[in-house]
Structure formats: structure tokens, C-alpha cells
Amino acid sequence: MDFKKLPPVQEQLMKCVRCGKCRSVCPVFAEVGIETTAPRGHVFMVQMLRDGKVEPTNEVYERLGQCLLCETCSINCPSGIDVHELNAAARSYIYDNNPSVGKELLFETLWTKPAMLRSSARVMSAAQKLGLQSLARKTGLTKILPGDLKEAEQMMDNIPSKSARSRLSEINLAREEKKYTVGYFLGCGTDLFSPNVAVAAVDVLTRNGCEVIIPKDMKCCGLPHIANGKIETAQKLAAHNIKVLNAYDFDYIVTDCASCSSALSRKNMEFLFAGLKIEDAALALSEKVLDLTVFLIDVLDIRLPQKKTAEKIRVTYHDPCHLANAQLIKDHPRELLRRIPGIQLAEMKAPNTCCGGSGTYSTTHYEMSMKILDKKMDNAMETGAKILTTCCPSCIMQLSYGCKRHNWDVQVLHPVELLSRYYQS
Ligand code: SF4
Ligand code: SF4
């Protein structure tokens, strides 16, 4: 990958007018207050890397790596600079010059092979049940993995023993007159950590006239790779998924994971493939992709029957960055919740600020992640909600950990789980 040829690096660096608007909205800068952690500082750093004034060292990676890639700066930049893309591009450039065994093992060997990833999750789940996590640490294997495994263990202390893939069929027929053939993009997070979300999504879709196909050969959407300096691997994963998904004649492709829908979006396809031969196929795919909540509202216009038994329940909603910032989707999840009889939506303060999860960030930058999470939890708890909802498995994991950390006894769910429960009640 030629870092200097990536579209944001070629086209956007000179547009920065150093106004500092991005700095005023950055959750990491709010905690640290040092210019090198601010988005404006990152833009400057990328420029120096491009011009060869700074060497691509691990120290520079560490500075850029403090960013959550939450995209808050990008949507607030008056010059329209995709600061997060510049940051991700620079991370890859630096990583290519300083590869590490641990990252290769995790992101190249494991995370590109769904069957192996699933087996690892099964092993972790079994190890948790047997209390054997310390064994992995003692073997020394964990020392080479990126991030702090001790913290990661705390975050992932309840891995389901069965993946969504093992609970769902490849083809799920419509349960009423068929309206659409829908490809369901089953992301790694939903598959391994939130399988109930996938089961609920398929339940709701098939009840509403969709034949849901979950293609067997799909791989990770590649977003974790982009965040961890491996853009070339993300390109390979996306190219694979484009080939697999474009071979079907889907009316739509839906996903319940904000990160996956942003990875499959036109914007990200342009970032990965602008000017390359595969670009047209990539854009053709992204044309069909919709976040599940958008599909349920805009395409199916889902309406639920009133039931006498519908209990009133207070629910709050957290905006995932990859939905609210990356795709400007805020209304659809809320509208979906409002359409479920009995649900009373209680907005939290600053629902659109990052929860600090950001995929692997909570394990690579645990302390910063917790500072940001604690603010989010204060705002969520203030609502007095009984259920906390969001549309991203990474946020679900982070917020569930936040609830435990703050002894807040609520469920953390995707809105589609409430929808499915309502149908079944
Ligand atoms: S908001 Fe945009 S133009 Fe202003 S300093 Fe940040 S990156 Fe530069
Ligand atoms: S993406 Fe988020 S964390 Fe990163 S610099 Fe921008 S606002 Fe800050």
C-alpha cells in the first residue's frame, strides 16, 4: 500500500486551516488536553510523515493510536477533512515499517479466517467456564498479543458458547408472503459476542416477508484491521466479501452492526479502493447495504400490533460512532424503539459521544477507554432507564462492562432484540 497515494492523504492534507474545531469535540483531547493527542495535531503529524520530516516509528504510532477513530472530528471539520482516515492511513504506513508478531498472529492469521476465529472464541468461552484463563497467560503466548490481555479478559468475561452462525441456517425462508431476498452480513462481533442479536434480526426479518440468506463464505468486514494499521489486509477481506456477496441476487444486504455497515459503505469502499479496478464492484455492493434499523423503517415500514399486555418500560439509546458519525444515522434506531408499544424512550445527555469501546481500543488503551466510558455511564444512568440500547456489538460489550463497573443492573440490548421479544410476547 502506498500511503502517499491514498485519497485523503493526496487530497485533504492541505485543506486544514488549523481552526481547532476538531480539537473542541475530541473525547480524547478532552481527557488529555495535549495538542499531539488532538485531531489537529494528528493532521499535522500525517503531513510531516508524508513529507519525510518525521520517521514512521512506533512512538509516532503510539500518538496516533490514542485516537478512537470515532469520526467526531471529521464530521465537525469545516474543511471536510476525514481526519480519521488520515490517521488510519498513517497507522498502516508506520506499521508496514514496524511489523509485530502479535498483530500478525491476531489480525492476519486469526481474524482473516472465520472458522479459526470461531474456534478461538469457543476455546475462550470454555476456558472462562473452567477458570483457565490464567493458563494462557502462564504459557507466555498472550505476551505477544497486542493490548493488555488481563483487561481484555475482564471485558470479555461472558463469551457465549454458541456462535450465531451455529444457531442459524444459511437460508431462512420468509414466514409470510415473500417481499425481498435479503443478504444478512453477519459480523464477527455479532456472531461471537452477541449471537442473540443475529437470531432476533433473522426472526424479525423473516416475520416481515424477507427471505434471509447468510452467505457461508463471508469474512470480517476489515474495520478492526483498518484501526490496527493493516489496511492491505482490510482491502483483501473487503475484496473477498465483494466477490461473495455480489455473486447473489440480493435486493438488499443488511447488517445489525454499525461498524460492519460503515465498513461496507460507499465512503469506506472509496477509501479502500478509489482508482483501483475493483472500485465499481465495491460501489455496486455498497449500494445495496443498509443498516438493519434503516431497512426496518424505510423499506419495510414495520408496524407492530398493539397488545393489551404491553408493559411500559423506560429505555435509553446510545449512538454508536460508526452509525451516528460515519453514516449520520440517528433517527432510525429511535424511531424503531418508538414503534414498539410500551417503550418509553428516555434520551441520555450527549447520546452521540463515544462510549470508549471502539472495537479493540478498550483493550489496547484500557485506562483512556474507561475514562470515556465512565462519562457515558453517568449520562445513561441519569435517565433511570431499565434497558440500555445501541446498534453495535462493540458498544454492547463496552456498555455491558460499564454497567458491571457501575453496579447498574440493566440489560444492554440491540433494538431488534426488543422487537423480536415483542413479537414473541
Ligand atoms: S477542524 Fe479541520 S480544518 Fe480545523 S483544525 Fe481540525 S482538521 Fe484542521
Ligand atoms: S476520531 Fe475521535 S478520538 Fe480520534 S481525533 Fe477524531 S474526535 Fe478525537
Tens-digit pLDDT profile for residues 115-170? 777 777 666 666 665 554 555 555 444 554 555 556 666 666 678 889 999 999 99
Q: What is the phi/psi pair of residue 56, to 5°?
A: -80, 75
Ligand 1 pocket check: which of 13, 15, 17 to mutate, most ligand atoms within 8 Å of Cβ?
Answer: 17
Strand positions, DSSP E, 160-301 = 171-172, 180-184, 210-213, 252-255, 289-291
Nearest CA to ligand 1 atom 5: 18
What lies within 8 Å, CB to CB, of 232 at 6+ separation is 1, 92
Q: What is the distance in A from the centroid of ligand 2 to the CA of 72? A: 6
Q: For each of the domains in the chain, give its residue range(s) and CATH number, in order of start.
A: 3-97 (1.10.1060.10), 313-424 (3.40.50)
Q: What is the distance between the alpha carbons of residues 149 and 139, in angstroms, rounded to a whole number? A: 13
CA distances from residue 49 to 9, 196, 400 in whole angstroms, order as listed: 10, 44, 38
Does 14 sit in the ligand 1 pocket, CB within 6 Å? no
Residue 124's pLDDT is what?
66
Does 73 sit in the ligand 2 pocket, CB within 6 Å? yes
Q: Which atom of ligand 2 approaches the CA of 37 most closely?
A: 5
Residue 144's pLDDT is what?
46
The C-alpha cell 457515558 sits at 376
pLDDT class of 42 with cuts at 50, 70, 90: very high
Does 28 sit in the ligand 2 pocket, CB within 6 Å? yes
Dihedral of CA 123/192/322/318: which sign? negative
pTM of this prediction?
A: 0.91
Cell of 8: 485523503
309-323 per-position pLDDT tens digit: 667 899 999 999 999
